Amino acid sequence: GQQLNQSPQSMFIQEGEDVSMNCTSSSIFNTWLWYKQDPGEGPVLLIALYKAGELTSNGRLTAQFGITRKDSFLNISASIPSDVGIYFCAGSLTGNQFYFGTGTSLTVIP
């Protein structure tokens, strides 16, 4: 199946710093989702985007649906230790089948 490209693959940042990551696809999508996965757990939905150009926030997290519909971005402001985990993007054209990205591993250094 298709896997979306996420970058960076991993990030090591100091607590308090802002984080930016992105996700790209070779095909267009109508829905973008961002998930966070902790070790030994399933992914947890953070933000859902349904319209090109849409900018949506969830606390310190902000995500954007790219204008081209082939990319999406996630920003985390003022990172804290509990932000540690793997962040996955997921895109879908129909809302039925979602293709997941390869993940961005975030490490926050206190």
Partner 1 sequence: EAGVVQSPRYKIIEKKQPVAFWCNPISGHNTLYWYRQNLGQGPELLIRYENEEAVDDSQLPKDRFSAERLKGVDSTLKIQPAELGDSAVYLCASSLLAGGSGEQFFGPGTRLTVL
Residue closer to partner 1 (CB basis): 24 or 102: 102
What is the footprint of partner 1 within residues 85-104 (CB under 8 A)? 88, 90, 92, 94-98, 100-103
CA-closest candidate to residue 67, choices 4, 24, 8? 24
Distances (CA, A) of 34 to 4, 24, 58, 107: 12, 13, 11, 17
Q: Does residue 3 touch partner 1 according to CB under 8 A?
A: yes
Out of 13, 20, 24, 48, the residue judged to bind partner 1 by CB under 8 A: 48
Q: Does residue 4 touch partner 1 according to CB under 8 A?
A: yes
Q: Does residue 75 touch partner 1 according to CB under 8 A?
A: no
Q: How many helices (H) and strands (E) does the chain have?
A: 0, 11
Q: By the 8 A CB rule, do 62 and 55 touch? A: yes
What is the footprint of partner 1 within residues 6-45 (CB under 8 A)? 31, 33, 35, 40-45
> What's 82's DSSP letter?
G
Which residues bind to partner 1, rule: CB under 8 A?
1, 3-4, 31, 33, 35, 40-45, 48, 88, 90, 92, 94-98, 100-103
